[in-house]
Amino acid sequence: MKIFSVLKQILLIVAVLALSISCDKNEGYGGSSSIEGVLMMRYYNNDFTVLQDVQPAVDEDVFILFGDDKNVGDDIETSIGGNFRFNYLLPGKYKLYYMSDDTSKTRYSDIALYTDVEIGSGEKLFVDTLYTYKALDWDDGHAKIKGRVMLWNYKKSSAPPNLEVKDYTPAQELPVYIVYNHGDFYEDRIRTQGDGTFVFPNLLKGHYRIFVYSEDIYTGSTADFIISRELEITETNQVLVLDDFEIETY
């Protein structure tokens, strides 16, 4: 009887120790739970005022922190569909994070975006879709603006207001300017081709102003005046064709 009593005490001690070890087990690998989700990329213009596109974030790192640990427990790259999954986790609290452009534009470096999750034993948790943000330059898009500049050339033997036309031809090698999103300065300038045409490619969605300079032949001012067009690109692959610009020379 004493032997059985001793065995019972030993088994009780072993059970208590096993339970104690189990309770003290921290978050991390070694369990049967998993956390998975999808990371999507929101593309914006450079001041985050116009959403350009939403696509799966491919080959982006998603990090996991175990419990209250401040050190990275592990990281995984997203798949072609933006998917990620952490397997073989113990029950407990976890923190996911990934890097993003700063939408407040207060920092020049990337910032970390965090999501807190908690899983039970054997649970397969699918988190809500996560979003990261990317700022694009005005010419990182896929849209186009096309146009043509024509030139009224007047005879020097005539004078305003009775000007006589010498010819009406394509304006060759003339600078054409583009302004994005109501900016104070032009983003770029290109020159017209031999047939007076021009193309601004690779444009983001948003507001544009296209302008050229023309001689002021009526007032005799040495300063040229501006002829401009205001327009809006609303589709990713949109192609806009402007009415002809008509400038004058004397």
* C-beta separation of 225 from 243 below 8 A: no
pLDDT score of 13 more than 60? no
Cα-trace Rg, the chain: 33
pLDDT score of 2 more than 80? no
Give every CB contact of residue 220 below 8 A, 6+ residues apart in sequence: none
Residues of each domain in the chain carrying CATH 2.60.40.10: 26-136, 143-249
**Mean pLDDT calculated for residue range 35-50:** 97
pLDDT score of 250 more than 90? no
Least trusted range by pLDDT, from 20-29, 173-182, 197-206: 20-29
pLDDT of residue 5: 52
Q: How far is CA 87 from the centre of its chain?
A: 30
Q: Is 67 left (phi over 0), alpha (psi -120 to 50) or beta?
A: left
pLDDT of residue 66: 97
pLDDT score of 209 more than 60? yes
pLDDT score of 23 more than 50? no
pLDDT of residue 49: 95
pLDDT digit string, tens, across residues 127-150: 999 999 999 999 999 999 999 999
pLDDT of residue 156: 84
Q: What tokens does 12 get?
A: 């009780």
Give every CB contact of residue 136 below 8 A, 6+ residues apart in sequence: 43, 44, 45, 46, 52, 204
pLDDT digit string, tens, across residues 84-112: 999 999 999 999 999 999 998 877 789 99
Q: In whole numbers, what is the pLDDT of the chain averaged over residues? A: 89
What is the Cα–Cα distance from 79 to 4, expressed in whole angstroms?
A: 58
The residue whose two tokens read 């569909």 is 81
pLDDT score of 8 more than 90? no
Q: What tokens does 65 get?
A: 């922190």
CATH top class, domain 143-249? mainly beta
pLDDT score of 33 more than 70? yes
Beta-bridge partners for 249 = 153
Q: Which of 133, 104, 141 is nearest to 39 (CA)?
A: 133
* C-beta separation of 180 from 243 below 8 A: no
CATH topology of domain 26-136: Immunoglobulin-like (2.60.40)
pLDDT band at 22 (very low <50, low <70, confident <90, very high): very low
pLDDT of residue 177: 98
